[in-house]
A and B are shown apart, each in its own frame.
Chain A
Amino acid sequence: MEEITALKKKTIDSNLEDTIEIFKQFYSVPLNKDIIIRNFSIGGLDKKATVIYINSITDSEKIEEHIIRPLLMNSVSEKKLENISPAQLINTYEIYEDILQDINNGNTALFIDGEPKAYVFSSTKFQGRSVEKPLNEVVVKGPKEAFNENVIDNISLLRKKIRSENLIFESYTISKSSKNVLYIVYMKDLVNEELLKNVKSKITSIDVNAIQNLSLLEEYIEDKNTSIFPTILSTERPDRATSYLEDGYIALLMDNSPDALILPATFWSFFHNSEDHYLRFLFGNFIRLLRFMALMITLFISAIYISVTNYHVEMIPTDLLLAMSASREVVPFPSIIEILLMEIAFELIREGGLRVPNPIGPTIGIVGALILGQAAVEANIVSPLVVIIVALSGLCSFAIGDIKLNFSVRLARFIFIFAAAFFGFYGMTALFTIGLFYIVSLYSFGVPYLAPMTPKYISSKDTFFRKILKNEQYRPGYLKPKDIVKKKEIQ
């Protein structure tokens, strides 16, 4: 093993046959079936040459047409290689390691007898999905393209929307053995230099063998690993990513990740949906209001039920109170256990529903929801009101589109239930205040989590309600962009 690592650092031999032998050794060639080593001689120069490439990740047609054929057909001598082959020449390497890296990336290496260097041509063609509809972030009105696992496709989608020379895609290799490449995307004339430096320093300080995709990378670069609220946004829609880029945010792209990471991310990034802006002013605000109500309902309703039935019975109007009392008389469990049972059942159904194979999917939905709930009520295990409450809180949690915030809310809901069981409204309010103090002191890459609501910054005033697009004039001040005015005032 050590021999091989030492060998990798050496420069290649001029002798073609020796070089090819060494490469065969590197790739364990008789064992490894998809490495192609093709020997031929260049016409005109009368030199022996070999191309090495990996079959499954290269465009073999391109290799044959653009690299091998012109070399074979060449009749003039003393021509520079660049002028013979129309294929894109990436580089010439002398060290084994670099050549290996490029061949592994899907490029083709050309070795000519007598020359102690290898010419590497671009011929990458990885297999993967094409650009499809977004699976998780669904909008009714708006573009329906999503990122896929091929980072070149993703870059193309972004460049399609921002056709500016200031859109920069910087690349970094972030892992040692798998050599995953990360792309940092930003608008050169907008982004804040310090933020960029901060992000880059975080990335370069990662010292790991493999980071396969963005979801894993997230944990390495986020500010606080144990916080209950997410501080980096991930989106699978290019239109969303571009709107953030144009405000001065930074995006991260990677191969094998059908999404982009946006940072820094405030609470409002998770709360907002791109559809709010695609709809008309009033409808967008209406949806925002609904979403806020859904957030409140899903957080509090189970906890309120527990507080009210145990501690604060006076609050319920008389008729409802008597009805609840009557229906609860036959239920064996105290209301806290009831709620917990139903909540856990709901979460199980939800998780199970995600993994159910397609053919059985709808059936399970009917079984789970209808029969389970109905049967539970009939068997007097739970009272019907609890079924409504838990179903309502579960459904409302779906209104929060972002999956990470969704989880935060679900977890928070359980904590509220316990607080309510302990101390009724007092416990709930105490927990809420603690949560408020906590969320206000969270930072995401230097930006306060609830900005620009507090502390105050110049911004497009698009926090809770959005404004008419004409009036959203400024970029977010907390990012300190270089150019803060988004639009000039329209006369």
Chain B
Amino acid sequence: MNSMDSTKGKIGLKELLALILLDVGTKVADDTPHTFYEDFGNAAWIGILLIGLITLIPILLLTKLIKLYKDKNLIDIILHLFGKYIGFVLLFILWIMQVFANISNSAIYTDIIGTMYFNRTPVVVIYVVLVAVAAYGAKKGVEYIGSSAWVILFWVILSLLIILVVTFVQGEFTYIFPILGTGGWEIVKGSYNHSSLLTDFLYFGFIASNVKNSTVFNKGIWIGFSIVILSFVLALIGYVMLFDYYGVRMFDYPYHETIRYIEIGFLTNVELLFFPFWLVSSFIRFSFYLYLSALLFGALFKIKHFEYVVPALAALTMLVGLMPESAVFSMNKLKIIFLNVIAPVFLLLPILLWITAKLKGDFKK
């Protein structure tokens, strides 16, 4: 692939933004809201705002670090600041976290596709297709995942907007009262527990060296952050408006229930119109996750062309994901415990890094 321009392999602002929005934004449409409603009641949207506030500091510190160490990504920074051995352990933990996130999420998404749309198809087949497409994208490289994300971003956002508008029109605004849901203190506690929702932002640090420059990276992170929080707030309000707190609490997958419920004009069943858009953003999300796990694996074991690890990791993800018997329950529970455990890692790591950098005097240079 000969190319004569210097942007080869670099991600621009648009692609980074699209990647962030599709990666984190798709969480609105899987089982993540389910746990929110259990902990926050109908004040889930307030919970999101609080989560945004809590994670503001770690993300801010992360951007500061990226700006300081130009052309280095988070892997390099960790190794530089913490040395080879602690850095290795830390990266290993992060890699295990990523792999686990891959496995649980892909199992859950396979379950969504199976229960909502393809009842009788064996889970293996759905899983294989999901993982195969994700592996193909991951092998190509992150700049292509970003480009693809930008190409379809417009359509995905359009579909989401339509859903939101229809939901707001067909829903009852009064269902979001009582405002504080389960209560003030509950919300704060829950926000802390669920702050790992935005761990992905930490992982974006790993591709910082693929982005054109650090200003672009920081800009992308902040714009992506605000839009993601906004879309979460709107979506969570939307779900409650349509189904009320009592009902939405019982849904495993509120987004899919929503698109089965709403009607647009004479079309009574619009779920299949929105299904492909959700699917494409899920594919992009898993491609990116696979790429990240391959990247970290390559950094850990010093493999330069880590793209070739992708198929192996993909197969591993699938095999482990198929193991539990009923993904809905076991994976959900595991995922909740997992998310609660990694919340402190996500919140503390940038702080630790920043303090170390300050102590090392790198900021003065």
Contacts and interface: CB of A to CB of B under 8 A. Distances in A.
Asked if A and B touch directly (CB within 8 angstroms), the answer is: yes
Interface of A: 192, 194-195, 198, 308, 311-312, 314-315, 317-318, 423-430, 432-434, 436-437, 440-441, 443, 446-448, 450, 453-457, 478, 480
B129 A430 contact: yes
B1 A443 contact: yes
Given A432-B280, A437-B145, A453-B150, A194 B266 contact: no
Contact of A198 (B4, B117, B130, B273): B4
B2 interface: yes
8 contacts: A192-B4, A318-B268, A429-B276, A434-B137, A436-B280, A437-B136, A454-B12, A457-B7
Contacts of A448: 3, 147
B34 interface: no
Contacts, number: 118
Interface of B: 1-5, 7, 10-15, 113, 117-118, 121, 125-126, 129-130, 132-133, 136-137, 140-141, 143-148, 150-152, 266-269, 271-273, 275-276, 279-280, 283-284, 287
Given A315-B272, A437-B148, A454 B15 contact: yes
A291 B322 CA distance: 44
Contact of A425 (B13, B125, B276): B276
B269 to A, nearest CB: 4
B12 A455 contact: yes
B229 to A, nearest CB: 25
A192 B269 CA distance: 54
B136 A446 contact: no
A457 B14 CA distance: 11
A429 B280 contact: yes
B129 A426 contact: yes
B147 A443 contact: no
B147 A454 contact: yes
A487 B300 CA distance: 52
B152 A436 contact: yes
A424 B148 CA distance: 22
A318 B145 CA distance: 39
A249 to B, nearest CB: 14
B280 A455 contact: no
Nearest to A318: B268
Contacts of A447: 3
Given A314-B269, A430-B133, A478-B5, A455 B283 contact: no
Contact of A450 (B118, B121, B151): B151
B140 A454 contact: no
Q: Is the interface of A mostly helix, strand, loop or mixed?
A: helix
B4 A427 contact: no
Nearest to A316: B269
Contacts of B15: 454-455
A437 B134 CA distance: 10
Contacts of A450: 147, 151
Contact of B279 (A195, A314, A429, A446): A429
Nearest to A315: B272
Contacts of A317: 266-268
Contacts of A454: 12, 14-15, 146-147, 150-151
Given A317-B266, A440-B147, A440-B148, A456 B12 contact: yes
A430 B14 contact: no
A194 B4 contact: yes
Contact of A437 (B1, B144, B269): B144
B71 to A, nearest CB: 18
A426 B118 contact: yes
A441 B283 contact: no
Given A423-B121, A455-B7, 9 more contacts: A312-B272, A317-B266, A428-B276, A432-B276, A433-B137, A433-B284, A440-B144, A440-B151, A450-B151
Contacts of B283: 429-430, 433
A443 B145 contact: no
A195 B4 contact: yes
A314 B145 contact: no
Contacts of B268: 317-318
Contacts of B144: 437, 440-441
Contact of A480 (B4, B126, B130, B133): B4
A192 B5 CA distance: 11
A444 to B, nearest CB: 10
B4 A315 contact: no
Given A429-B276, A436-B148, A311 B284 contact: no
A434 B118 contact: no
A480 B117 CA distance: 48
A454 B15 CA distance: 8
B2 to A, nearest CB: 5
Contact of A446 (B3, B276, B280): B3
Nearest to B141: A441
A455 B143 contact: yes
A429 B277 CA distance: 8
Given A318-B268, A426-B129, A453-B150, A437 B140 contact: yes
A480 B5 contact: yes
Given A425-B275, A433-B280, A198 B2 contact: yes
A478 B7 CA distance: 10
B156 to A, nearest CB: 12
Nearest to B9: A455
Nearest to A195: B4
A143 B321 CA distance: 62
A311 B11 CA distance: 38
Contacts of A318: 268
A456 B220 CA distance: 14
Contacts of B132: 430
Nearest to A436: B148
